[in-house]
A and B are shown apart, each in its own frame.
Chain A
Amino acid sequence: GAVVSQHPSRVICKSGTSVKIECRSLDFQATTMFWYRQFPKKSLMLMATSNEGSKATYEQGVEKDKFLINHASLTLSTLTVTSAHPEDSSFYICSARSVRQGDTGELFFGEGSRLTVL
């Protein structure tokens, strides 16, 4: 299957700093990328949907100014957690999908990034 690479896999930062997480589709062009957050013992929560070249669509309750998403190319989307606080500590996962005729719409997931804010 297609490969999605997410980096970094683990990051520890101080409160008040910003952290950038990258999501790359390595062998296909991702017209759409999704960013998820997973709380302990909970399922994935969709944060936002980003389409290449346009602004991300955020889910209700997700702060746009805090979680900056950029999908500048068909193979790269970034999530920047700005002015991070301890409550932002979580597992962040990206997924990518290529919507072309005949595609199943299957999502390919990155490995996830565990953010710890001290």
Chain B
Amino acid sequence: GQNIDQPTEMTATEGAIVQINCTYQTSGFNGLFWYQQHAGEAPTFLSYNVLDGLEEKGRFSSFLSRSKGYSYLLLKELQMKDSASYLCAVLDSNYQLIWGAGTKLIIKP
């Protein structure tokens, strides 16, 4: 079966760095997405990785290792507004998005 695993909840301090991990087992792979979702709102796109390595975009970076079926989202200089759920999703061989359950990130002052 297809499976995406990510921690249910994480807590971090304002100004710090946090890494949210995602492991996946899917039928085929056409890329991995990270989305941010604030409560009551639709998800917004953060990053897309299809090749191994690190993609940096401002305070957010995303890493992918296809051989390990592993990705992480790195958030630096955390701000209170970063409190949200972070969804990992994989595009499988049929171009269907397989979603993780999301990681709720709580930022404390």
A residues lining the B interface (CB < 8 Å): 1, 6, 32, 34, 42-44, 46, 49, 91, 93, 99, 104-112, 114
The answer to whether A43 touches B33, judged by C-beta atoms less than 8 angstroms apart, is no
CB distance from A18 to the nearest CB of B (A): 23
* Interface range for B: 20 to 34
The answer to whether B45 touches A43, judged by C-beta atoms less than 8 angstroms apart, is no
The answer to whether B91 touches A109, judged by C-beta atoms less than 8 angstroms apart, is no
Stretch among B19-27, B36-44, B63-71, B75-83 lining the A interface: B36-44
User: In the complex, what residue of chain B is closest to A2 when comparing beta carbons?
Assistant: B45
Contact of B45 among A1, A6, A34, A114 (CB under 8 A): A1
B residues lining the A interface (CB < 8 Å): 30-31, 33, 40-45, 48, 50, 85, 87, 91, 95-97, 99-102
7 nearest CB pairs, A to B: A112-B42, A109-B42, A43-B101, A43-B102, A93-B42, A104-B48, A105-B91
Complex interface: chain B residues within 8 A of A42 (CB): 101
User: In the complex, what residue of chain A is closest to B91 when comparing beta carbons?
Assistant: A105
CB distance from A33 to the nearest CB of B (A): 12
Contact of B99 among A43, A104, A106 (CB under 8 A): A43
Interface centre among A43, A99, A106 (most CB of B within 10 A): A43
Extra inter-chain contacts (10) besides given A43-B85, A46-B99, A106-B33, CB under 8 Å: A32-B95, A34-B97, A42-B101, A43-B102, A44-B43, A46-B96, A104-B48, A105-B95, A109-B45, A110-B42
